[in-house]
């Protein structure tokens, strides 16, 4: 007997037919849906959901009213920039620390006020270098460029620098120019940047209206050399360009306006300008408030000297990262005693907390964030402890409250020798200078606050080589700093701004009851203060001072004093990688200090690292002030004592060479290396120069040095 299969009471054939029919219907429905959606997507903005042509109005700045004149589009064409600003003179600055920028601004102001020249002041990175050829002969370009490190250009000069080294096939025969370089003769490549710039312009046919001038900061003469050059520039404008010099009264470039309607939350209380904004993003991070997690004294017998090891925690900011060899930029705070001194002599104590706006009166950029208060300005935004230039002293004389004060300021400002002698015997900053000229509370109350802020340079960060490895401790960065304290007489001393601030933080965190050894105090924390106790404002700056990518590559390190900081990180990293089983190359460290009993910093750590690395690491100390005079050695002496090992590493094994410390030490070390290599290899000076240049191009001979 036949049996009929069924599903849910229906015959199987009928069920299958229904399923097939339903499948065909579902397929057709899906295809129709896909077609409908595709049509909708294709016709969006054409047949439906047309964009509102006025929607952009919702995102316009509220202050830009209908009918307001739109800002001119930004151009990088130098000829067009001159035309836009109706200027005859373009002053282009290339600056790393801000000195060249400040001098360019001073020159621009003086040319404008005393000669009525029409001037435009430009960051050189805002100019396309190829457009220099379009500048007409009736215009003039003035270049101020600094050299830092071993002949390196400033960060904002890199595009121009590349163009200067291209083939000289562009004619600049119409370009008239003047040039001023800032450098330090302690460095081997003194004023290299301005030399290359001037030579490249000349090779392209540009005409220099006077010889290129060079400032030398080796003896602190940059300011004087700038004043001398500026006077020559003014003479050229009068004798060759037909300008007439006129005596003018003081014209402020900025204005300070009190505004009691502002609340504390509206103000800038001391957070530095975000250094990642604009052109700095490729080289440094944003500024953060970083907590201090460790600080300790490194000198064994301080004897009035201090060396600080300090670590900051990066853990609160996941985006903040560093790599071994980078720098930490620390933003210092002015000491309370100098803030009070300046506020007192200016008669501004009652006004110190009043909210105010700082506005430009001539269109020049204002370096102080606004709105703010005088407390924040004098504590965080200007360097009130900076020396006062002779030119600024002359400006102050016009506002002296007494004839005696005016005579004193005129005497030291009009005579270079008198000013130099005054600096040799006195710690001079603006507050102290005003007190010396005319002492008493509010004695200088008639001095325009605008002139005070124009005289004081904007606060700048101080950079320290990071002395920890990012491989070993990625979320904590360490720095190593000797506290600067320069005696200038039996009773006067000039304290380093940043290092004494760090010392105060160290003392407050480790021994709260102990005062700063030099009596300096800082007002942290205060209401609305952006920094909590035991925090600093800092940012990371990238460096090319890096370990080889291949861990087995040998390295030779030479450092004196705190110049050993990055090498602590290097050796830490090598020891860590060896512990992980990596094959690490030979590392040889030459370290110089005064005395093993006083300032052999990180001695115990290096001993421990040596035990971990075994034959892969050797430390060669050099003591410049040992107990026995016959044991006196500098790092360059120790290099000369071991020529075979040095040559074997640098020449035979193609090791990386790193030098960190003062420029003078780096020059002596480079000379010592050259001597031992030339002697062993039988090379001429030309052979050695070719070898050194090749190693530097390949980033195998690197220096991290300071003046």
Strands 656-662 vs 555-560: parallel, antiparallel or unpaired? parallel
Mean pLDDT of 333-357: 95
pTM: 0.83
CATH fold group of domain 555-706? Rossmann fold (3.40.50)
Mean pLDDT of 465-486: 96
DSSP state of 379: I
**Under a CB-based contact definition with an 8 Å cutoff, are residues 605 and 635 in contact?**
no
Cα 683 from chain centroid? 39
What are the tens digits of pLDDT across the range 413-470?
Answer: 999 999 999 988 889 999 999 999 999 999 999 999 999 999 999 999 999 999 999 9
The domain 78-239 is placed in CATH, from the list 3.20.20.150, 1.10.730.10, 3.30.300.180, 3.40.50.360, at 3.40.50.360
Backbone angles phi, psi at 579, to 5 degrees: -60, -30
Residue with tokens 């975000």: 274
Say whether pLDDT at 114 is over 70.
yes
Q: What is the 3-state secondary structure (H, E, C) of 648-701?
A: HHHHHCCCEEEEEEEHHHHHHHHHHHHHHHHHHHCCCHHHHHHHHHHHHHCCCE
Say whether pLDDT at 33 is over 60.
no
- 396-405, 514-523, 604-613: least confident range: 514-523
Three-class SS of residue 311? strand
Say whether pLDDT at 274 is over 90.
no
**Closest by alpha carbon to 86, among 104, 106, 72?**
72
pLDDT attached to residue 69: 38
The Cα angle at residue 471 between residues 467 and 474, in degrees rounded to 5: 75
pLDDT attached to residue 511: 59
Backbone angles phi, psi at 632, to 5 degrees: -65, 130
CATH fold group of domain 333-460? NADPH-cytochrome p450 Reductase; Chain A, domain 3 (1.20.990)
Residue 4, C-beta contacts closer than 8 angstroms, at least 6 positions apart:
11, 12
What six digits make up the tokens of 644? Answer: 């075979």
Q: Give dist(CA 611, CA 565) in Å, integer.
A: 20
Residues comprising the chain, all counted: 707
pLDDT attached to residue 14: 53
Say whether pLDDT at 527 is over 90.
no
Can you state the angle between helices 390-397 and 403-414, rounded to 10 degrees? 150
Confidence of residue 5 (pLDDT cuts 50, 70, 90): very low
Strands 555-560 vs 587-593: parallel, antiparallel or unpaired? parallel
Q: Give dist(CA 205, CA 174) in Å, integer.
A: 8
Q: Tell me which architecture the domain covering 278-331+461-543 has in CATH.
A: Beta Barrel (2.40)
pLDDT attached to residue 150: 73
Q: Tell me whether the CATH fold assigned to 78-239 matches the one assigned to 555-706.
A: yes
Confidence of residue 706 (pLDDT cuts 50, 70, 90): confident
What are the tens digits of pLDDT across the range 169-199?
Answer: 889 999 999 999 999 988 878 999 999 999 9
Say whether pLDDT at 258 is over 50.
yes
Can you state the angle between helices 685-697 and 663-681, rounded to 10 degrees? 120
E strands in 605-654: 617-623
- 81-95, 268-282, 353-367: least confident range: 268-282
Burial of 548 (0-12, 13-18, 19+ CB in 10 A): middle
Taking residue 608's Cβ as centre, other Cβ atoms within 10 Å add up to 12
- Helix/strand/coil percentages in the chain, nearest 5: 40, 20, 40
Domain ranges of the chain: 78-239, 278-331+461-543, 333-460, 555-706
Mean pLDDT of 521-533: 60
Burial of 686 (0-12, 13-18, 19+ CB in 10 A): exposed
pLDDT attached to residue 517: 67
Q: Give dist(CA 547, CA 554) in Å, integer.
A: 10
What are the tens digits of pLDDT across the range 565-600?
Answer: 999 999 999 999 999 999 999 999 999 999 998 899
Q: Give dist(CA 644, CA 640) in Å, integer.
A: 9
**Under a CB-based contact definition with an 8 Å cutoff, are residues 193 and 157 in contact?**
yes
**What is the b/e burial string over 120-134, where b = at least 16 CB atoms within 10 angstroms of the residue's CB?**
bbbbbbebbbeebbb
Backbone angles phi, psi at 217, to 5 degrees: -95, 5
């Amino acid at each position: 007997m036949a049996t009929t299969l069924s599903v849910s009471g229906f015959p199987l054939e009928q069920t299958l037919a229904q399923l097939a029919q339903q499948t065909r219907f579902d397929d057709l429905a899906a295809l129709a849906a896909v077609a409908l959606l595709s049509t909708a997507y294709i016709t969006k903005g054409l047949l439906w959901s047309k964009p509102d042509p006025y929607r952009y109005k919702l995102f316009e700045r509220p202050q830009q009213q209908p009918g307001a004149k739109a800002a001119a589009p930004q151009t990088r064409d130098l000829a067009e920039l001159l035309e836009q600003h109706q200027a005859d003179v373009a002053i282009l600055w290339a600056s790393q620390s801000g000195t060249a920028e400040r001098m360019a601004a001073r020159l621009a102001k003086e040319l404008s006020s005393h000669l009525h020249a029409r001037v435009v002041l430009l960051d050189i990175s805002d100019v396309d270098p190829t457009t220099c050829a379009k500048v007409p002969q009736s215009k003039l370009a003035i270049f101020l460029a600094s050299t830092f490190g071993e002949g390196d250009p400033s960060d904002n000069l890199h595009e121009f620098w590349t163009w200067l080294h291209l083939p000289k096939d562009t004619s600049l025969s119409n370009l008239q120019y003047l040039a001023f370089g800032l450098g330090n003769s302690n460095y081997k490549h003194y004023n290299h940047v301005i030399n290359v710039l001037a030579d490249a312009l000349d090779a392209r046919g540009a005409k220099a209206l006077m010889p290129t001038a060079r400032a030398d900061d080796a003896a602190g003469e940059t300011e004087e050399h700038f004043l001398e050059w500026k006077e020559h520039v003014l003479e050229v404008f009068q004798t060759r360009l037909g300008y007439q010099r006129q005596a003018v009264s003081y014209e402020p470039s900025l204005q300070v306006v009190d505004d009691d309607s502002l609340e504390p939350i509206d103000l800038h209380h001391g957070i530095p300008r975000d250094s990642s904004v604009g052109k700095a993003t490729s080289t440094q991070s944003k500024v953060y408030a970083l907590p201090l997690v460790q600080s300790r004294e490194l000198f064994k017998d301080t004897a009035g000297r201090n060396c600080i090891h300090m670590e900051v925690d990066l853990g609160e900011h996941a985006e903040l990262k560093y790599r071994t060899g980078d720098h930490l930029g620390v933003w210092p705070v002015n000491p309370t005693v100098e803030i009070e001194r300046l506020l007192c002599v200016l008669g501004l104590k009652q006004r110190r907390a009043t909210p105010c706006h700082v506005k430009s009166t001539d269109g020049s950029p204002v370096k102080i964030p606004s709105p703010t208060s005088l407390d924040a300005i004098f504590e965080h935004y200007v360097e009130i402890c900076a020396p006062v230039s002779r030119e600024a002293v002359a400006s102050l004389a016009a506002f002296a409250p007494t004839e005696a004060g005016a005579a004193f300021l005129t005497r030291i400002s009009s005579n270079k020798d008198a000013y130099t002698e005054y600096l040799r015997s006195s710690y001079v900053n603006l507050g102290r200078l005003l007190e010396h000229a005319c002492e008493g509370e509010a004695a200088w109350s008639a001095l325009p606050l605008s002139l005070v802020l124009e005289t004081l340079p904007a606060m700048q960060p101080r950079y320290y080589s990071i002395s920890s490895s990012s491989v070993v401790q990625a979320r904590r960065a360490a720095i190593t700093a000797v506290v600067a304290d320069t005696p200038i007489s039996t009773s006067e001393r000039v304290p380093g701004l940043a290092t004494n601030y760090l010392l105060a933080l160290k003392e407050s965190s480790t021994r709260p009851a102990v005062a700063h050894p030099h009596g300096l105090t800082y007002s942290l924390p205060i209401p609305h203060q952006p920094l909590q106790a035991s925090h600093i404002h800092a940012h990371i700056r990238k460096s090319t001072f890096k370990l080889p990518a291949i861990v087995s590559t040998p390295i030779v390190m030479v450092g004196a004093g705190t110049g050993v900081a990055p090498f602590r990180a290097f050796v830490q990293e090598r020891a860590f990688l060896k512990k992980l089983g990596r094959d690490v190359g030979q590392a040889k460290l030459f370290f110089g200090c005064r005395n093993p009993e006083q300032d052999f910093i990180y001695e115990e750590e290096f001993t421990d690292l040596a035990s971990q690395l075994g034959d892969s690491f050797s430390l060669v100390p050099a003591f410049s002030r040992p107990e026995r005079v016959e044991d006196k050695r500098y790092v360059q002496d120790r290099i000369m004592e071991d020529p075979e090992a040095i040559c074997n590493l640098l020449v035979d094994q193609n090791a990386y060479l790193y030098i960190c410390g003062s420029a003078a030490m780096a020059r002596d070390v480079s000379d010592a290396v050259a001597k031992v290599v030339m002697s062993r290899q039988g090379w001429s000076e030309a052979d050695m120069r070719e070898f050194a240049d090749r190693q530097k191009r390949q980033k195998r001979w690197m220096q991290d040095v300071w003046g």
